[in-house]
Every structure is written in C-alpha cells, then in structure tokens.
Amino acid sequence: MRYTAAGDTEPKLAALLDAAQGEPVFIERGQQEVAVLLSVREYDRLSGKAAREFLDFCDTVADNAAAKGLTEAKLEELLKDA
C-alpha cells in the first residue's frame, strides 16, 4: 500500500478528498476507470476491519462481564424480565 501527504499532490486533490467522504470517487485515465478514492471509513467497512473491531469489542465486554460474575443463567434471567 502506498501513502502520500495530501499537500504533496495536485491542488484539486483536496476537493476530491472532500467528495470521497460522501461517496467513492472514480479516477479515469483515457476514459477507463483505473482507481477509486474512498474514505477510510468506507475502506474499513469494505475490508472487514470494522466488523473485526466490533467483534473484539464484544469479546472485551463478555470478558469483563464474566470477570464480574455474569453467567449464561443470570443473563437469561435478566433478559426474561425485559
């Protein structure tokens, strides 16, 4: 993967970066799509990073709950009253 600072690129890039926050920006060369500019949030979603982070968060919550004495039986009882 290649990285570059926005300030080291064409001045028009700032506007493209702003546009990419709302939707993907396709870059063409000779009327052919050659690249897509995405927001980091969209990239994370597409790459599955957000899902992995969510699962890690769930594991952390479960570990903390178990450490404080929450069991499957206690959880069922709590949810039954809800």
What does the DSSP 8-state code read for residue 7?
A: G
How far is Cα of residue 55 from the mean position of the Cα atoms in its chain?
Answer: 13
pLDDT at residue 12, rounded to an integer: 83
Query: Which residue is listed with tokens 């570990």?
Result: 63
pLDDT at residue 32, rounded to an integer: 82
How far is Cα of residue 20 from the mean position of the Cα atoms in its chain?
Answer: 14
| Per-domain boundaries in the chain | 1-42, 48-82
Amino acid found at 56: D
pLDDT at residue 39, rounded to an integer: 95
Q: Report whether pLDDT(1) > 60.
A: no
Q: Using one digit for the tens of pLDDT, what is the confidence trace for 47-77?
A: 888 888 888 999 999 999 999 999 888 888 8
In 1-82, which ranges are E strands?
25-29, 32-37
Q: How far apart are CA 17 and CA 6, in angstroms?
A: 9
Q: Report whether pLDDT(82) > 70.
A: no
Q: Report whether pLDDT(4) > 70.
A: no
